Amino acid sequence: MKKVEDNLDQRILVCGESINSKQERFELRWNGKAEAINLAGRKPTGTLRPSREGSVNWNTTENLYIEGDNLEVLRILQQSYQQKVNMIYIDPPYNTGKDFVYKDNFRRGKHHNEWLNFMYPRLKLARNLLTEDGVIVVHIDEHELHHLITILHELYGEENALGTIVWDKLNPKGDATSVAVQHESIVCFAKNKAAFLANGGMKRKKPNALKMLKKAESLFKKRGEKYIPTDLLKVAKKYKLPQHIVEEHSSYYNLKTINKEFAAWIKKEESLSRGEAAYSNIDEEGQVYQAVSMAWPNNRKAPDDYFVPLVHPVTKKECPVPAKGWRNPSQTMKKLMERNEIVFGKDETTQPRRKYLLKDHLMENIPSVIAYGGSDAAFFNQIGLKFDHPKPYKFVSEILSFFTKGDDIILDFFSGSASVGHAVMHLNKEDGGEREFILVQLPEKIKPSFQSSDPHLKTICDIGKERLRRAGELISEDESNEGVDIGFKVFKLE
């Protein structure tokens, strides 16, 4: 049996005088790297020929669908789209031997040389297309995750790494020989992190914020209405009490009962994150809020001006001051009082807290783990198409919403089933945006096992374009979506 050590660099296992430390530095090297760099620098030799026949709304659409090898297409796009693409969203081969679109088993090379040689020039060319505040987002699994991050460090700069999102698919897969895998990694890099953060950075809308605000609004409208407490209804039903007796013991909705119902609803809503569930209070104006500490956050003591006590509005007595002082100076605390942004207890014995309104904090940081177990199976069944493991367009749409604005350009040069194009149309429908997509796909023939019942669908491109057509038709069925760009211009590499 072959020993594990046979696959390791013996210089790492044995420290000896033969290793010259002056020649060592951290880098990723592999056989063929120089040629991969040269490939990125070659001039394009092909041209993109327009194909009106396969297009939709040629005269009005801004979306592009390009059929051809993505390396050559990326070279060609340098001429017209350099520094114009706001987001690159790709799902490249994982080196698992299972993906459907491109060759996806590069294991002949001991150090995964072929995968690196395949990806490096494409990632290098892609960077030139990004705007200064643009981002690249890459789906990958554990087979090449470490290599991907290392070459992105080299091409984009380690200082421009935005982090890695773990997509929890909620569906463990595997066998008894290893850990069951139920996640993918989504690696995120900015071309210039400072520019990206200055333009809004990584935020997302709290997924359940609007639902919470609507629930609070419906409860607040009940203020002053008569109601019969649940416990009384149970007793009345059990003992068959007359209605007039029940009515005599009815109550009226006040702020206390409204908050009690809202807190109970929050507790039952399992979809709420901890950050969302913290907004469990409704104030006298019907605003949803959470009360947070106003204590000085540092270890050292605050200046004297941060120790001015607050007077309770009812008892007119001073409330306790945090041991290290308030978070803000006295003038700021005074302004917070005037704006009704401080929450007091029932008397002066409780330390006051800061009121954060949900309507003013609808955005939150993007979490490192996002759970989504849905699929596009229902959509593909509805339109009569078949494709192996397409990315769910609603999940892709959510990722797009983290990084793009209304008129951004999104590029996917591993288009596959055109999930990104579908997601762009869906997101524009949802938020009224005018995002544009550029999809690039090799017109590889469909495997017999995935052959469609439609004889005209012979390649991956055929499936992708048909998927976009059907998705666009479904969107256009609703007249309110009239302004959504559901078209695309087809170009073929020659």
Residue 15 has pLDDT above 50, yes or no: no
Domain membership of residue 5 (yes or no) is no
Domain membership of residue 319 (yes or no) is yes
Q: Which of 63-77, 326-340, 369-383 has the lowest mean pLDDT?
A: 369-383
How many other CB atoms are found less than 10 A from the CB of residue 458? 14
Domain membership of residue 356 (yes or no) is yes
Is the same domain home to 180 and 287?
no
Q: What span, in angstroms and rounded, lies between the C-alpha atoms of 55 and 71?
A: 23
Q: What span, in angstroms and rounded, lies between the C-alpha atoms of 463 and 375?
A: 17
Per-residue pLDDT tens over the stretch 185-237: 999 999 999 999 999 888 888 889 999 999 999 999 999 998 877 777 788 88
93 band by pLDDT with thresholds 50, 70 and 90: confident
Give the max Cα distance, the chain.
Answer: 99
Nearest to 162 by CA among 126, 129, 199: 199
Specify the CATH number for the domain of residue 401: 3.40.50.150
Question: Looking at residue 149, what is its pLDDT?
Answer: 96
Is the same domain home to 143 and 64?
yes
Which domain-ending residue is among 342, 362, 382? 362
Are 391 and 467 within 8 A, CB to CB? Answer: no
Which domain-ending residue is among 335, 362, 389? 362
Per-residue pLDDT tens over the stretch 29-43: 888 999 999 999 999
More confidently predicted of 246 and 469 = 469
Is the same domain home to 311 and 451?
no
Domain membership of residue 252 (yes or no) is yes
Count structural domains, the chain. Answer: 2
> Could you list the residue range(s) of the whole structural domain that residue 216 is in?
209-362
Q: What span, in angstroms and rounded, lies between the C-alpha atoms of 439 and 328?
A: 51
Domain membership of residue 38 (yes or no) is yes
Which domain-ending residue is among 362, 394, 427? 362
Is the same domain home to 32 and 174?
yes
Residue 98 has pLDDT above 80, yes or no: no
Residue 432 has pLDDT above 90, yes or no: yes
Per-residue pLDDT tens over the stretch 332-347: 999 999 999 999 999 9
Is the same domain home to 392 and 303?
no
Per-residue pLDDT tens over the stretch 135-192: 999 999 988 999 999 999 999 999 999 999 999 998 887 766 788 889 999 999 999 9
